[in-house]
Amino acid sequence: MPSRPRALVPPEDLRRTCAAWPTGIAVVTSTSSGGEPVGLAVNSFTSLSLDPPLVLFCAALTSTTWPHIRDAGRFAVNVLAADQHQVAQAFARSGGDKFADLDWADRDGLPELTGIAAGLRCSLATVHPGGDHEIAVGRVEAVDSRGHKPLVFHEGAMLALPSAAGSARGEAA
């Protein structure tokens, strides 16, 4: 029986190093086979392709929510707004009713949180293995941008982006 290869980089070193890269925070939501809303917080959401329109996120194999989303075959990506720290914390925890005390609406059969910066509704196109996660690729069916600043995760903290006043929008430094 072949032995498992030794990790080249300790997980805590990789986590600390990757924390230097700021990411957005999104909540992926769906409806379980029992008709209940389900969701999980991710900071691994990104666009993948414009043609066809594809996005991806990664879900931990240990997640109890991810199997419900995968089985549903459809999901919404709720890009959290800068003032939604409590929403991020609610969906980052394991177990319990994550939708309790939160405002949300049914949008095309998917739960969508109110006050988000942007929303995407997707069908699950494929799932790929990714170590201790699965990589979910979704085909984008609809999008909405709300104009709110996003909530950002950097060096273990949730932050709001500073105002871009005085700088050229979209210009690289």
What tens digit of pLDDT does each residue of 153-167 get? 888 888 888 866 544
Q: Would you place residue 102 in the very low, low, confident or very high pLDDT band (cuts 50, 70, 90)?
A: very high
Check whether 38 has a pLDDT greater than 50: yes
Q: How far is CA 111 from CA 1, 78, 137, in A?
A: 46, 9, 19
Residue whose token pair is 């109890």: 64
- Give the predicted TM-score (pTM) of the model: 0.86
Q: What percent of the chain has pLDDT over 70?
A: 90
State how far Cα 64 lies from the chain centre: 15
Which range is least confidently modeled, 15-29, 64-78, 92-106? 15-29
- The reported pLDDT for the residue numbered 157 is 84
- The reported pLDDT for the residue numbered 9 is 85
Give the whole-angstrom CA distance, residue 121 versus residue 112. 9
Q: Would you place residue 145 in the very low, low, confident or very high pLDDT band (cuts 50, 70, 90)?
A: very high
pLDDT, average across residues 28-32: 97
Q: What is the mean pLDDT of the chain?
A: 89
- Please count the other Cβ atoms lying within 10 Å of the Cβ belonging to residue 84: 25
pLDDT, average across residues 117-130: 98
Q: How far is CA 146 from CA 13, 96, 151, in A?
A: 36, 29, 13
- The reported pLDDT for the residue numbered 6 is 67
- The reported pLDDT for the residue numbered 173 is 44
- The reported pLDDT for the residue numbered 162 is 80
